[in-house]
Amino acid sequence: MIELKEVSKKFGDTQAVNLVSFKVDEKETLVLLGTSGCGKTTTLKMINRLIEPDEGQILINGEAITNQDPDTLRTGVGYVMQNIGLFPHYTVAENIAVVPKLLKWDKEKIKTRTQELIKKLHLPENSLSMFPHELSGGQQQRVGLARALVADPAVLLMDEPFGALDNVTRTSIQKEFKGLEELKRKTIAMVTHDVQEAFELADRICLMDRGKIIQIGTPKELLYRPINDFARKFLAGQRLALEFKVVNLQDIWSYLPKGTLQDGKSLSDDLNIWDAMELLRSSDRSQLLVSGANNERKSVNFEQLTKGFNEFQNTQAHE
């Protein structure tokens, strides 16, 4: 758990972070979203004391971080950064082993853990003896993540973790990370300026502007109940795509026609509209079988899906 209490930071005359307070719950992913210069990265770096706040208090798992030695604190907090920041003079294995060595693990333990991680992160076995420059961008990012996860820290900080990747690689790695068991157990604070990415990965989003928090809430809340014009305009450009991501079959359940009883394997109703559409388009199926609450089953085709979604949208707009 991470908690910030009225934290402020000034650089010269610029108020980079202004009285920011939030809480990231256990196993929750909070995304700090905003344009460059909004203070999101500064906020993140204050959590592992790469930057010291001028005012306010930061607690990790209930303990003030100022009570801990910064180096010890950092070995216990995973950090994935913008430009990956791998050590070019270390092999992949040595890069992953940085924190365990600082924690004085024995060799065998480091080796086992490294093997385990590269399997989970789909890195080729022979990459361990390679240097970072010999890997692709996507692979480098996986190594960066492995390095942050290796000591299994409860808290993970991610600063634009996919910023250095091209769009195609980014989308696929985001998906993969989202499904990663190791990440689901962590309390994560992540910084991004990419709205899509925020909506893809966040449990809650903290929208920031000029050092201040504008709104904190679930993606759905941000989308359908923006607190002011800034929040509304911030998402306006990609609104439709975001809605497809945020709304799931459960939300539009009541707008879907009563299903004919069909046998076969059904999908969960927390599938979002975007993914449902993709399934319909990419597979040769013309219908999806979905099971909702009370074991009720419905089959949906593309037309029914868009119709249901439109009706849901209308009710949200008039609320």
Q: Does 82 bind other proteins (CB under 8 A)?
A: yes
Q: Which of 99, 158, 249, 300 binds other proteins (CB under 8 A)?
A: 99
Q: Does 298 bind other proteins (CB under 8 A)?
A: no
Q: Which is nearer to other proteins, 73 or 300 (CB)?
A: 73
Q: Does 72 bind other proteins (CB under 8 A)?
A: yes
Q: Does 131 bind other proteins (CB under 8 A)?
A: yes
- Determine the interface stretch with other proteins among 72-80, 173-181, 182-190, 241-249 (rule: CB under 8 A): 72-80
165, 175, 178, 184 from 199: Cα distances, Å: 18, 12, 12, 16
Q: Does 84 bind other proteins (CB under 8 A)?
A: yes
Spatial distance between the Cα atoms of 252 and 255, rounded to a whole number of angstroms = 5
Residue 53 phi/psi, 5° resolution? -70, 155
CB of 11 to other proteins, least distance (A): 16
Q: Does 40 bind other proteins (CB under 8 A)?
A: no
Q: Which is nearer to other proteins, 89 or 318 (CB)?
A: 89
- Strand-pair category, 212-217 with 14-24: unpaired
Sequence-ordered alpha helix ranges (H) in the chain: 40-47, 70-75, 92-96, 98-102, 107-120, 137-149, 167-178, 181-184, 195-201, 219-224, 229-236, 239-246, 273-282, 302-318
Q: Which is nearer to other proteins, 156 or 206 (CB)?
A: 156
Q: Which amino acid is at 29?
A: T
Contact residues: other proteins, CB under 8 A: 48, 50, 71-76, 79, 81-90, 98-99, 102, 131, 147
